[in-house]
Amino acid sequence: MKLFGPEGVRDLEGLIKEKAEEVKEIEVVKLSESEDMTQLLVFIRTAEQPHYHREHDLTFTVVRGHGELYLNGRREKLREGDVAFIPRGAVHFYTNTSVVSVLLAVFSPRYDGKDSVKVEV
């Protein structure tokens, strides 16, 4: 698997293999960014805390593993190839149910990591 963009070609398969073995809980790798979006690889061995984003929409694809997505009171099992859209303000979290899940996440607009508001569910 590779990522092709303005900066060139990145070997995602090699990056995923390297990081997936060492991640302890959750790790994020920034892949690319523009004025309007940020693209990340998110490695999840455990689970996210329930949260929402005030100013960002999120779309992610499960590229490795499987898990459950909680979104506004509903749970859905997701596996490799599944895509989820999470609009700003929607309470959500992902729980890994495999060895490690890897999500290709795209935030819009550009994401600085500071727009995550923790909540109780």
Q: Say if pTM beats, i.e. exceeds, 0.85.
A: yes
pLDDT tens digits, 55-69: 999 999 999 999 999
Class of domain 2-118: mainly beta
Q: Give the separation between CA 104 and CA 29, rounded to whole angstroms.
A: 10
pLDDT tens digits, 58-107: 999 999 999 999 999 999 999 999 999 999 999 999 999 999 999 999 99
Domain ranges of the chain: 2-118
